[in-house]
Amino acid sequence: MMRSLYSGVSGLQNHQTRMDVIGNNISNVNTTGFKRGRVNFQDMISQQLSGAAKPTDEIGGVNAKEVGLGMTVASIDNIFNQGNLQSTGVSTDIAIQGNGFFVLKSGEESFYTRNGAFGLDMNGTLVNPATGMRVQGWMAEDVNGQMIVSTAATPTDLVIPVGSKDPAKETTNVNFACNLNKNTPEILEGASPEDIVKGTWGTEQKIYDSFGNEHMLSVTFRRVVGTPNQWEATVNIDEDNADFTQTRVGLGSTDGMGNTFIVSFDNYGALQSVTDSAGNITNPEGQVVIQTSFAVPDSNVDEEGNPYRQTLNINLGTIGSFKDTITQSSSKSTTKAFYQDGYTMGYLDNFKIDSSGVITGVYSNGTNRTIGQIAMASFTNQQGLEKAGDNTYVESNNSGMARIGESGVAGKGTLMAGALEMSNVDLSEQMTDMIVTQRGFQSNAKTIQTADTLLEIVLSLKQNIVNKKIKIF
């Protein structure tokens, strides 16, 4: 009888614990990145009234007689199944699709979270605005003009330098991939202005000097009279100011060169060779690069009083190739440059985050620069993490050490910018669990009431026996 009282009391206490967990789940139904808890029960030790006996020649075996002494909480698990993703349109909101955690730092202490509701502080540091914890990742480094992210390094604070300058860069390479119409008429001596226009095809491309000033690169093509499959190209930088810019083109050097070169094609319309104004001819194979130089206006002069000359390369493509190469066919002429690498000075206006966590800065001059990459953490036993409040977790003795790396690698999920992961709490499931818990609680309370009633009967009987003995004597 006393055992039933103790069992009932343990049931009340532990069902209350389960109710506490359910209540916490329901209260966090709209908490970003929250992971619900689950209580597991197990029975306590049992009191043995008699042990088991093995069979003999005379009788069979006898099972043990045991009475349970109640139940206890076996574990309270964190259930890390995926929550729904909700689009927010905020560039600093990031959701994790799959396994993994964001890494946050408060001082030197590391925390881990699924809550990707981030923002920027006044210094441009990517933080959790509710706690000020700093998001960890890797900042890009400039290596020979390329922004490289080393994910093997120790993660650090991510800083988005909004408003920072991107210095101007002079154009060094221009690539052409055009077609010259083989049926273009030759421009004969004494041709009319109309015939000259019909026999000339040209293109224009903006380029930039070291100051970020814009210049116009123009290249015109005319068929060489009397020679099939040959075209004369004329190059000018700022044609309206040609007397000052003094454009020169050549193979390997522009010293002493003019501003023209000859392009030859084979019988299939593929690029065959290029000859500069000094008679230098390209190699029979490989890429064809025409070196071009021009005088930059308002630049510092050298000791001889000559202005600074900027040099760039015009890439006509690969000999014998039809891909990204100048060609000749009977199709319509399309003289177009498809790439140039210069730009004016710009400011960081915006940034974007891709599925691998790479942060790319978008500058006002149209350039994109890699700023950094968000780090992610995974654990051998993520259910072993300890809750640290503020929707964060810390390592425990049973979670294992954090394995830091980039998203999409070694079992880590991918990232989605402009979205947040919602709580994985299912209200209908929690309400069902609440009803079951309530019934368990009520049943254990009834057990205590019944045991108490039985105890009252026993005590009453005992009192009656005592009273009768007193009357006898």
pLDDT in tens, 408-445: 888 899 999 999 999 999 999 999 999 999 998 888 88
- Same domain? 290 vs 145: no
Residue 393 placed within a domain: yes
- Same domain? 362 vs 333: no
- Same domain? 359 vs 332: no
- Same domain? 409 vs 450: no
Residue 166 placed within a domain: no
* pLDDT > 90? residue 61: no
- Residue 471 sits at φ, ψ, to 5 deg, of -65, -35
- Same domain? 446 vs 372: no
Strands 309-318 and 173-176, how do they pair?
A: parallel
**Residue written as tokens 């009803």?**
435
Domain end, chosen from 344, 377, 410, is at 344
Domain end, chosen from 344, 363, 388, is at 344
CATH number of the domain to which 250 belongs:
2.60.98.20
Residue 397 placed within a domain: yes
- Rounded CA-CA distance 410/378 in Å is 9
When mean pLDDT is compared across 152-156, 190-194, 244-248, the lowest value belongs to 190-194
- Same domain? 241 vs 326: yes
- Same domain? 241 vs 219: yes
* pLDDT > 60? residue 30: yes
In which domain, by residue range, is 253 found? 173-344
- Rounded CA-CA distance 349/353 in Å is 14
pLDDT in tens, 93-141: 999 999 999 999 999 999 999 999 999 999 999 999 999 999 999 999 9
**Confidence label for 470 from pLDDT (cuts 50, 70 and 90):** low
Residue 167 placed within a domain: no
Residue 165 placed within a domain: no
- Residue 63 sits at φ, ψ, to 5 deg, of -75, 155
Residue 305 placed within a domain: yes
Residue 161 placed within a domain: no
- Rounded CA-CA distance 160/91 in Å is 12
Record the tokens describing residue 107, joined without a space: 């001082």
Q: How many domains does the chain have?
A: 3
- Same domain? 359 vs 314: no
Record the tokens describing residue 199, joined without a space: 């026999």
Contact partners, residue 267, CB within 8 Å, separation at least 6:
229
- Mean pLDDT value of segment 232-243: 93
- Same domain? 184 vs 140: no
Give the model's pLDDT for residue 456: 78
When mean pLDDT is compared across 8-12, 186-190, 415-419, 436-440, the lowest value belongs to 8-12
- Same domain? 262 vs 331: yes
- Same domain? 44 vs 27: yes
- Same domain? 408 vs 430: no
pLDDT in tens, 366-397: 889 999 999 999 999 999 999 999 999 999 99
Residue 36 placed within a domain: yes
